[in-house]
């Protein structure tokens, strides 16, 4: 069925934890020790969907260590993985704008996958889209709603696929919950918690509190899930934010003074169909959660509607392992399954971290073959740039609310969402 589709050339932007599992301080100690993007693309190349690969970062001197890390932990673990890729910047140079040279070497219809610091997503995505390149950008797609609106317009103008990598939409529990919420009537209340241990303040030292905040970093996940569940039920009208502080800015973390610990966004939702039904969303994210909690990301939420409720605890899935030295850990192979198959190949093709990238690759190939239009994916309810605009609206409004200590309105003007 898919045999006449051409293989896709893909440039990975960012060479860090999510792409390779290699961070500034060596191999990641999180739950992504060998990354997600590189591994998935190497496997999709083995399976015939992807062809030429590239990787662009800022510091070309990191590539020998990255290649060694990939050779040992991917090449040495899974059979038949071709780990070749072009690197940018070349020759060990340092260049924050190397993504331009790397994208210039692509041709229209190729693709980029962006996992770089939040403040760089827009610049890289717009550069690629304007050159006819399909884009998969990690969350938060952009920090400003105006930038998100520009990406929607540019993707439409250049007829490219632009998805936001909201992998939780492919988690079987979350997607089942979305389907069930559709029959629960009017929305009333949503409460989400997501946190990571305080040690992340060391991992994120380069940008924490300076270039982005914990709400953009973690609440983006559950705000997107809530917006997705409510897409035909209600729309957000107002955001008020509150922040807890004092841990990140104290010993031993000593982050910059404006770093918040825990951010809560309180959002008013108006029913689309019923003027009298209004709901409340509460989205909290923290990077000062306890160490040794047994999970890397605590994550749970509660949804209440007219005719019922939904409770999800995605951190604890009824699967835990206790080891003498390290204590109890709850693992999540439904996201990325790293243990090899019986034949020695990578075996995580059903993980939602993998599926999220594969859906984008499939969409870009179908559009290149003329089988689909980019706008078809908006109708399918996938996390396209157009379908995720309210997630950015809420996150951006939350940041303004914290900075300006006021409530921020969200409204629609024509077909565009704006902040007041
Ligand atoms: N790590 C995770 O678990 C995870 C999960 C989901 C989404 N994300 C998102 O991924 C992004 C960060 O990626 P990461 O977690 O791999 O972080 P990281 O800090 O480990 O890596 C960031 C990478 O971006 C590169 N980079 C910075 N500026 C660049 C530029 N101008 N051009 C090209 N590359 C540039 C850096 O060199 C580095 O390789 C964030 O937006 C984050 O929200 C991360």
Average pLDDT, integer, range 166-171: 97
Average pLDDT, integer, range 165-174: 97
Question: Which residue lies with its CA nearest to atom 31 of ligand 1?
Answer: 96
Whole-angstrom CA distances from 157 to 150, 176, 185, 390 are: 10, 34, 37, 21
For the Cβ of 115 lying below 6 angstroms from any atom of ligand 1, the answer is yes
> Can you tell me which atom of ligand 1 is nearest the CA of 96?
31
For the Cβ of 200 lying below 6 angstroms from any atom of ligand 1, the answer is no
For the Cβ of 15 lying below 6 angstroms from any atom of ligand 1, the answer is yes
User: What φ, ψ does residue 321 adopt, rounded to 5°?
Assistant: -130, 135
Average pLDDT, integer, range 293-305: 96
Question: Which residue lies with its CA nearest to atom 33 of ligand 1?
Answer: 57
> Can you tell me which atom of ligand 1 is nearest the CA of 24?
20
Tell whether the model's pLDDT for residue 415 goes beyond 90: yes
Strand order in the sheet with 162-164: 86-88, 50-56, 8-13, 111-114, 134-137, 162-164
Q: Which residues of 276-289 are buried (b: 16+ CB within 10 A; e: fewer)?
A: ebebebbbbbbbbb
Q: What's the CA-to-centroid distance between 13 and ligand 1, angstroms?
A: 8
* DSSP code of residue 212: B
For the Cβ of 116 lying below 6 angstroms from any atom of ligand 1, the answer is yes
Q: What's the CA-to-centroid distance between 401 and ligand 1, angstroms?
A: 26
For the Cβ of 119 lying below 6 angstroms from any atom of ligand 1, the answer is no
User: What mean pLDDT value characterizes the chain?
Assistant: 96
Q: Report pLDDT digits (tens) over 3-34.
A: 679 999 999 999 999 999 998 777 776 666 89
Element (H, E) at 243: strand 234-244
> Can you tell me which atom of ligand 1 is nearest the CA of 98?
32
- The pLDDT assigned to 249 comes to 96
Q: What's the CA-to-centroid distance between 213 and ligand 1, angstroms?
A: 14
Tell whether the model's pLDDT for residue 2 goes beyond 80: no
> Can you tell me which atom of ligand 1 is nearest the CA of 18?
16
Q: Report pLDDT digits (tens) over 327-341.
A: 999 998 899 999 999
Distance in Å from the first CA to the final CA of the chain: 48
Q: What's the CA-to-centroid distance between 118 and ligand 1, angstroms?
A: 8
Q: Is residue 239 within 8 Å of 401, Cβ to Cβ?
A: yes
Which of the four pLDDT bands, split at 50, 70 and 90, describes residue 38? Answer: very high
Which of the four pLDDT bands, split at 50, 70 and 90, describes residue 368? Answer: very high
For the Cβ of 138 lying below 6 angstroms from any atom of ligand 1, the answer is yes
- The pLDDT assigned to 319 comes to 94
Which of the four pLDDT bands, split at 50, 70 and 90, describes residue 401? Answer: very high
- The pLDDT assigned to 4 comes to 76
- The pLDDT assigned to 30 comes to 66
pLDDT-above-70 percentage for the chain: 98
Q: Is residue 32 within 8 Å of 18, Cβ to Cβ?
A: yes
For the Cβ of 99 lying below 6 angstroms from any atom of ligand 1, the answer is yes
- The pLDDT assigned to 57 comes to 98
**How many C-beta atoms surround the C-beta of residue 392 within 10 A?**
29
- The pLDDT assigned to 341 comes to 97
The region, left, alpha or beta by phi > 0 then psi within -120 to 50, assigned to residue 316 is beta
- The pLDDT assigned to 350 comes to 97
For the Cβ of 16 lying below 6 angstroms from any atom of ligand 1, the answer is yes
- The pLDDT assigned to 3 comes to 60
Question: Which residue lies with its CA nearest to atom 3 of ligand 1?
Answer: 18
d(CA 403, CA 213) in angstroms, rounded, equals 12
- The pLDDT assigned to 205 comes to 86
Tell whether the model's pLDDT for residue 290 goes beyond 70: yes
> Can you tell me which atom of ligand 1 is nearest the CA of 19?
16
Q: What's the CA-to-centroid distance between 232 and ligand 1, angstroms?
A: 32
> What domains are defined for the chain?
8-166+348-384 (3.40.50.720), 172-333+390-419 (3.30.360.10)
Q: What's the CA-to-centroid distance between 57 and ligand 1, angstroms?
A: 9
Q: What's the CA-to-centroid distance between 322 and ligand 1, angstroms?
A: 31
- The pLDDT assigned to 285 comes to 98
Average pLDDT, integer, range 216-228: 98
Q: What's the CA-to-centroid distance between 4 and ligand 1, angstroms?
A: 34
Residue to substitute in 94, 117, 202, 299 for testing ligand 1 pocket (most ligand atoms within 8 angstroms of CB): 117
For the Cβ of 58 lying below 6 angstroms from any atom of ligand 1, the answer is yes
- Interaxial angle between packed helices 121-129 and 145-158, expressed in degrees from 0 to 180 and rounded to the nearest 10: 20
Q: Report pLDDT digits (tens) over 90-136.
A: 999 999 999 999 999 999 999 999 999 999 999 999 999 999 999 99
């Amino acid at each position: 069925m898919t045999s006449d589709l051409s293989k896709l050339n893909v440039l990975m932007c960012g060479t860090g934890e999510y792409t390779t599992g290699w961070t500034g301080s060596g191999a990641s100690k999180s739950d992504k020790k060998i990354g997600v993007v590189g591994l998935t693309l190497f496997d999709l190349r083995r399976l015939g969907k992807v062809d030429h690969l590239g990787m662009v970062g800022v510091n070309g001197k990191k590539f020998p260590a990255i290649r060694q890390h990939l050779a040992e932990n991917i090449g040495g673990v899974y059979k038949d993985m071709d780990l070749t890729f072009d690197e940018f910047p070349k020759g060990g140079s340092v260049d924050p704008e190397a993504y331009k040279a790397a994208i210039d070497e692509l041709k229209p219809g190729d693709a980029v996958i962006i996992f770089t610091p939040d403040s760089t997503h827009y610049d890289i995505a717009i550069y690629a889209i304007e050159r006819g390149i399909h884009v998969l950008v990690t969350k938060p797609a952009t920090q400003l709603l105006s930038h998100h609106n520009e990406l929607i317009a540019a993707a439409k103008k250049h007829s490219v696929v632009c998805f936001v990598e909201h992998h939780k939409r492919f988690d079987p529990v979350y997607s089942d919950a979305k389907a069930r919420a559709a029959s629960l009537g009017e929305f009333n209340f949503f409460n989400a918690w997501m946190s990571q241990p305080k040690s992340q303040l060391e991992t994120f030292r380069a940008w924490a509190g300076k270039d982005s905040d914990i709400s953009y970093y973690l609440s983006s996940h559950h705000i997107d899930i809530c917006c997705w569940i409510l897409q035909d039920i209600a729309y957000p009208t107002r955001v008020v934010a509150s922040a807890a502080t004092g841990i990140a800015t104290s010993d031993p973390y000593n982050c910059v003074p404006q770093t918040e610990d825990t951010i809560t966004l309180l959002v008013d939702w108006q029913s689309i169909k019923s003027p009298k039904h209004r709901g409340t969303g509460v989205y909290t994210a923290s990077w000062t959660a306890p160490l040794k909690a047994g999970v890397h990301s605590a994550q749970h939420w509660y949804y209440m509607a007219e005719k019922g409720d939904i409770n999800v605890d995605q951190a604890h899935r009824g699967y835990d392992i206790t080891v003498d030295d390290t204590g109890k850990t709850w693992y999540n192979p439904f996201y990325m399954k790293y243990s090899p198959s019986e034949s020695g190949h990578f075996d995580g093709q059903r993980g939602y971290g993998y599926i999220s990238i594969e859906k984008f690759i499939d969409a870009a190939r179908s559009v290149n073959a003329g089988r689909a239009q980019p706008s078809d994916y908006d109708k399918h309810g996938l996390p396209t740039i157009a379908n995720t605009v309210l997630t950015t609206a809420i996150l951006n409004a939350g940041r303004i609310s914290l900075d300006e200590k006021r409530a921020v309105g969200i409204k629609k003007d024509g077909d565009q969402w704006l902040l007041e």
